[in-house]
Chains A and B, each alone.
Chain A
Amino acid sequence: MRTISTPKLIATHVSLMAACAIVLYPVLWVIKMALTPSQGFSMSPNPIPDQVSMSNFHHLVTMNDGIFWRQLGNSIIISVATTVIGVALACTAAYAFSRFRFPGRTLGMAGFLITQMFPGVVMAIPLYILLNRLDLLNTLSGLVLVYSTSSLPFCVWMLKGYFDTIPRDLEEAAIMDGASQWVIFTQVILPLARPAIVVTALFSFMTAWNEFILAATFLTKREMFTLPMVLQSFVGSYSTDWGYFAAGAIIVSLPVMLLFFALQKFLVGGLTAGAVKG
């Protein structure tokens, strides 16, 4: 382990703490509004709450006969399913793009990129009509399908780029040892691509977790609603229930932070170094 000079260490910590301060400053108001038992918007310069109460959170989980837990469950199911399906589809597609040279390869990759340029608002109504025909409106599966495909382009590109950095020697060695294509893919390549898989998993999860417009377009029964819709229900035409909204915002942010905290050790794996010498 290299020793690091003290001034550099201090400078690094200071800059990181400054960055954290700037990052967290606006969020202090979110916490203040969540803990204050009123629905007004706080614009006072002081981010410390005068009174601390959990009444906003209490209201959130008990309103509408406690349907909040069902809606939280919906969000979790949709986001986890989107992550699993999205990452699975992206890994296989990215592997194909990385390891094979086939007719239509350039067109395919460009195609994935091009689909990201479609402004989403144009597709909301046609997707509604499509899901209506397939009887998938008001279902979690309908949303999972739509979210998985919309997170694909970034995941495919990111994973393909990462797969490209994994030396072919490893696969060739495995082939010589008699391993099949599938075994190579699952036992050699995927473990080495963990950091990229973490990034794409996090991205797919966030895409589904925070998405509001499509969820609001496709869902009409309140027991199918997702958390972003619950949050938006506090935004009225003339006034917003800021206390409830802020409490909801905190609840919605926590799983993401926890997920990132759990996954971050895979993010900084550094597993390829030294795997193949020479």
Chain B
Amino acid sequence: MIRTRRALRALVLAWALVCCIVQTAWADELTLWHSYRGAEQETLEGLLDEWNQQHPELTVTAEPFAPSVYTSKLTNDIPQGNGPDLFIAAHERVGDWSQTKLLAEWTEQDASFTAYHPATVEALVYDGKRWGVPLSYKSAALFYNTEMVKSPPDTTDALIAEAKKHTAPKEKRYGLVYESTNMYMHAGWLFGFGGQIFDEQGNFILESKESARSFAFARALINEHGIVPEEADGTLVSHLFNSKQAAFAINGPWFLGELDKDLPFAIAPLPIVSATGQPAKPFLTVEAAFISARSKNPDGARKIALFLADKQASITRAIKGRQPVANLSAYQDRRISEDRILMTFRRQLDATVPMPNRPEMSSVWEPTNRALRRVMRGAVEPDAALTEAKALFEVFQRPPPKERSLAPLITGLALLLLIALVIGVRRFTRENMWPKVKANLPAYVYLAPAILGMMILIVIPFVVGSIVSLFVHTQGSFTFVGLENFWRIITSQDYGVTDPLSFYFTLLVTVMWTAINVFLHVSIGMGLALLLREPWLKLRGIYRVLLIVPWAVPNYITALIWKGMFHKQFGAINGLLDALGLEPISWFSKFSTAFAANVTTNTWLGFPFMMVVILGALQAIPRDLEEAAEVDGATWWQRMRYVTLPLLRPSLVPAVVLGTVWTFNMFNIIYLVSGGEPDGATEILISESYKWAFERQNQYGYAAAYSVLIFLVLLAYSASTGQLKTRD
């Protein structure tokens, strides 16, 4: 009897133990990616902590990412198997992502979508299927300063009248500020006037009378009514509204984080367009939780997504994270229904147009932004601008070349390899190299680690990466097309040779850009280095440290500050010109001035490096030589030419050659300062390549072909100028 009881107890204990082991073995850890920061991030992570406490068998860790790299990380890491189980992102890429098989579908069994606002659910549908759970939404609305404006206007005529009362350009005060040359911000007017971007079948139908009227309206706000400043970008809008120099601003919920704490403001829905009687309808962006197609536990991930979207979590996200939430039941909570900011965005939601989630949408921005810029600065009429936009859109959407067979490539490569091998072996045996190799063995030993590193980490990745140029990338699949990409670029198909989009135009701009910059960097660097090496100069240590500041401070922020300094109305440079009694210049509307702005910024950033290199190189020159020459009666210039410069050469040449190469590929400045303005004229080859890869339908093959051509141009340049030879 006792034995049976003992046996039973042992069995029960064993069973309990097994259950525990199995339980912990089955405890799953999921990852969630997002690009939130600040209050939104804290709220999200607080909610996930709550989930983890209640569900120890299914825990989740959150990883935040910088918004600028977030989408590339998703598209890169998920197919490689290193992605998250679920992620929170904006809905605009749903078309792209579902076609490239990054997302897991949501079927009727997984969830009922009735709790959420229909517009937010609709935004996540592509190809008749649902791809995510809506969490929150964003759209633009009308912000106004409550000290200046007592009640918000409900029509555009009223808005214009009220804004005029607060406009005084001489005092730099404007009635209304918004990014007039940004299609995203213009959308409110576009849809209010009845314009459309795509029709049901996905045809691009922006070119219409209604769209042209909206463009004319926006231009009138700047020119005729004068209530909107020219060249307003995000930073200007933020600056003017914050410093109470603007009565109204059109912006989205993200604007709340930029406003000063004591600024008296309120928000209202965008007004009704008086000309059509329709409300201005801004774009709707939905932030949703998506499940990765490669997740090992999609059901667990779905549970977490639904938890974040449910009523309780939505209330928390609305109150703590200040997110306008998609779950309608959250609005029953008084804390939300009495929150004027959240309720304004809720009202605006009923008058929005979901951003189209088709893959073609990513090609819409560049043509439409350019059209807006050209219309706003008076370069072209709205009708013509829209026709241009359509033409550019079609260039980006052009059908890919036909597939080619791999056979010629393989045979070609094999042949090349064979020839190289034969030549190498013949040279080796003919010139009797073996004894020379043996004699110089220590050299090879010294070189081995560096060469190995270069081969594995630079040469091979470049070769692999440039092979992409032989393919065309559409919707996640690559088709082999041989040299077709190169052919298209070199023969400048789709656009003329003198068009800024053509390879030759961009090449010419890049060469000019490089030559002028390197000349300025070297001369300024040399001048300063020569001054700073003099031992009689007190404080030279301090001067040196101060002068390398442009090199030390991250160039992202300084480039944007320089861009701000070149602003036509609010920039310091025009302020200086004004003080000197000169005409202010519109820097970014002409090629020469935009180019000059880029060169100025890059020179400011680049001369410290040359200065330091030359300072170091000057140390190798014995002062006795220079002093002897001076005693012999040589002038400063003769000393420079016959003593200093020749002795500087061995150290200077690599810096100049490499400086040339780096300037040729200096992407940051072009992208941040002129942004390629006007109309793509100041683009250089590398920034053009970037746009083809990331802003024009992800045409990676075409962009890679550009990169290979950049390499070949630089190679040809250094080979022809003899810089590849070692002169000793």
Report the Cα distance A92→B447, complex, angstroms: 7
A224-260 to B contact mask, C-beta < 8 Å, 1/0 = 0000110111111111111001100100110011001
Report the Cα distance A222→B624, complex, angstroms: 56
B230-258 to A contact mask, C-beta < 8 Å, 1/0 = 00001110110011000000001011011
B558 touches A27 (CB 8 A): yes
Q: Does B549 contact A (CB under 8 A)?
A: yes
Q: Provided the pairs A152-B454, A235-B67 are in contact, do residues A43 and B564 lie with their beta carbons within 8 angstroms?
A: yes
- Find the A residue at minimum CB distance from B449: A89
Report the Cα distance A173→B546, complex, angstroms: 42
Q: How far is the CB of A98 from chain B (nearest CB, A)?
A: 9
Report the Cα distance A126→B700, complex, angstroms: 13
A272 touches B622 (CB 8 A): yes
B454 touches A228 (CB 8 A): no
Q: Does A57 contact B (CB under 8 A)?
A: no
Residue in contact with A162 in the complex, picked from B65, B547, B620, B708, CB distance below 8 Å: B620
A257 touches B548 (CB 8 A): yes
Contacts of A265 in B (CB 8 A): 541
Count A-B contacts at CB 8 Å.
369
Q: Does B645 contact A (CB under 8 A)?
A: no
Report the Cα distance A228→B710, complex, angstroms: 27
- State which residues 71-116 of A face B: CB under 8 Å: 89-90, 92-93, 95-97, 99-103, 105-106, 108-116
Q: Provided the pairs A38-B242, A117-B715, A126-B460 are in contact, do residues A24 and B549 lie with their beta carbons within 8 angstroms?
A: yes
Contacts of A39 in B (CB 8 A): 257-258
Contacts of B723 in A (CB 8 A): 113
A149-188 to B contact mask, C-beta < 8 Å, 1/0 = 1101110111011101100000000000000010000000
Most chain A Cβ neighbours within 10 Å, of B546, B571, B707: B546
Report the Cα distance A103→B438, complex, angstroms: 10
Q: Provided the pairs A122-B465, A269-B619 are in contact, do residues A241 and B564 lie with their beta carbons within 8 angstroms?
A: no
B635-654 to A contact mask, C-beta < 8 Å, 1/0 = 00000000000010011011
Report the Cα distance A265→B616, complex, angstroms: 11
Q: How far is the CB of B341 from chain A (nearest CB, A)?
A: 16
Contacts of B462 in A (CB 8 A): 115, 118, 122-123, 126
A238 touches B547 (CB 8 A): no
- State which residues 194-229 of A face B: CB under 8 Å: 195-196, 198-199, 202-203, 206, 210, 213, 216-217, 220-222, 228-229
Contacts of B572 in A (CB 8 A): 25, 45
Q: Provided the pairs A40-B258, A125-B465, A264-B545 are in contact, do residues A235 and B533 lie with their beta carbons within 8 angstroms?
A: no
Q: Does A42 contact B (CB under 8 A)?
A: yes
A105 touches B726 (CB 8 A): yes
B454 touches A111 (CB 8 A): yes
Q: Does B658 contact A (CB under 8 A)?
A: yes
Q: How far is the CB of B668 from chain A (nearest CB, A)?
A: 10
A252 touches B554 (CB 8 A): yes
Q: Does A146 contact B (CB under 8 A)?
A: yes
Report the Cα distance A154→B613, complex, angstroms: 11
B711 touches A119 (CB 8 A): yes
Contacts of B66 in A (CB 8 A): 216, 229, 232-233, 235
- State which residues 446-476 of B face A: CB under 8 Å: 446-447, 449-451, 453-454, 456-462, 464-466, 468
Q: How far is the CB of A28 from chain B (nearest CB, A)?
A: 9
Q: Provided the pairs A23-B550, A42-B239, A108-B451 are in contact, do residues A117 and B714 lie with their beta carbons within 8 angstroms?
A: yes
Residue in contact with A23 in the complex, picked from B453, B547, B715, CB distance below 8 Å: B547
Report the Cα distance A99→B446, complex, angstroms: 11
Q: Does A189 contact B (CB under 8 A)?
A: no
Q: Provided the pairs A145-B457, A216-B73 are in contact, do residues A257 and B726 lie with their beta carbons within 8 angstroms?
A: no
Contacts of B546 in A (CB 8 A): 20, 23-24
Residue in contact with B619 in the complex, picked from A27, A102, A154, A270, CB distance below 8 Å: A270
Contacts of B655 in A (CB 8 A): 154, 158
Contacts of A9 in B (CB 8 A): 536-537
Report the Cα distance A107→B690, complex, angstroms: 31
- Find the A residue at minimum CB distance from B703: A121
B69-80 to A contact mask, C-beta < 8 Å, 1/0 = 100110011001
B658 touches A267 (CB 8 A): no
Residue in contact with B238 in the complex, picked from A164, A237, A239, CB distance below 8 Å: A239
Residue in contact with B553 in the complex, picked from A108, A202, A249, CB distance below 8 Å: A249
B548 touches A15 (CB 8 A): no
Contacts of A137 in B (CB 8 A): 82
B552 touches A4 (CB 8 A): no
Residue in contact with B82 in the complex, picked from A25, A220, A245, CB distance below 8 Å: A220
Q: Does B519 contact A (CB under 8 A)?
A: no
Report the Cα distance A26→B615, complex, angstroms: 25
- Find the A residue at minimum CB distance from B182: A238
A116 touches B243 (CB 8 A): no
Q: Does A30 contact B (CB under 8 A)?
A: yes
B292-324 to A contact mask, C-beta < 8 Å, 1/0 = 000000000000000000000000000000000
Q: Provided the pairs A30-B553, A196-B616, A233-B65 are in contact, do residues A122 and B466 lie with their beta carbons within 8 angstroms?
A: yes
Most chain A Cβ neighbours within 10 Å, of B260, B551, B616, B658: B616
A162 touches B707 (CB 8 A): no
Q: How far is the CB of B516 from chain A (nearest CB, A)?
A: 18
Report the Cα distance A274→B592, complex, angstroms: 51
Q: Does B629 contact A (CB under 8 A)?
A: no
B726 touches A123 (CB 8 A): no
Contacts of B68 in A (CB 8 A): 232, 235, 237
Q: Provided the pairs A45-B575, A149-B453, A233-B66 are in contact, do residues A239 and B234 lie with their beta carbons within 8 angstroms?
A: yes
Report the Cα distance A267→B541, complex, angstroms: 11
Report the Cα distance A19→B604, complex, angstroms: 10
Residue in contact with A236 in the complex, picked from B37, B77, B82, CB distance below 8 Å: B37
Report the Cα distance A44→B571, complex, angstroms: 8
B257 touches A241 (CB 8 A): yes
Residue in contact with B447 in the complex, picked from A22, A96, A118, A231, CB distance below 8 Å: A96
Q: Provided the pairs A42-B239, A181-B442, A273-B623 are in contact, do residues A267 and B465 lie with their beta carbons within 8 angstroms?
A: no
- State which residues 609-625 of B face A: CB under 8 Å: 609, 612-613, 615-617, 619-620, 622-624
- State which residues 145-204 of B face A: CB under 8 Å: none
Q: Provided the pairs A236-B67, A268-B619 are in contact, do residues A149 and B454 lie with their beta carbons within 8 angstroms?
A: yes
Q: Does B718 contact A (CB under 8 A)?
A: yes
B454 touches A115 (CB 8 A): yes
Q: Does B443 contact A (CB under 8 A)?
A: yes
Contacts of A272 in B (CB 8 A): 619-620, 622
Contacts of A216 in B (CB 8 A): 65-66, 69, 73
Q: How far is the CB of A107 from chain B (nearest CB, A)?
A: 9
Report the Cα distance A245→B557, complex, angstroms: 8
A274 touches B622 (CB 8 A): yes
Contacts of A110 in B (CB 8 A): 724-726
Report the Cα distance A40→B259, complex, angstroms: 7
Residue in contact with A27 in the complex, picked from B236, B460, B468, B553, CB distance below 8 Å: B553
Q: Provided the pairs A103-B437, A117-B715, A162-B650 are in contact, do residues A268 and B615 lie with their beta carbons within 8 angstroms?
A: yes
- Find the A residue at minimum CB distance from B64: A222
Q: Does B693 contact A (CB under 8 A)?
A: yes
Given contacts A93-B446, A146-B457, A164-B728, 5 further A-B contacts (CB under 8 A): A26-B558, A89-B449, A100-B440, A103-B440, A158-B651
Task: Return 16 A-B CB contacts under 8 Å, by A number.
Answer: A38-B258, A40-B238, A40-B259, A41-B238, A43-B570, A106-B724, A110-B725, A118-B707, A121-B690, A126-B460, A181-B442, A195-B620, A198-B616, A232-B66, A268-B533, A273-B624
**Which B residues form the contact surface with A (CB < 8 A)?**
35, 37-38, 41, 63-69, 72-73, 76-77, 80, 82, 90, 234-236, 238-239, 242-243, 252, 254-255, 257-261, 428, 431, 433, 436-437, 439-440, 442-444, 446-447, 449-451, 453-454, 456-462, 464-466, 468, 528, 531-537, 541, 543-558, 560-562, 564-565, 567, 570-572, 575, 604, 609, 612-613, 615-617, 619-620, 622-624, 647, 650-651, 653-655, 657-658, 661-662, 665, 686, 689-690, 693, 703-704, 707-708, 710-711, 714-715, 718, 723-726, 728
**3 closest Cβ pairs, A-B complex:** A157-B654, A102-B440, A161-B650
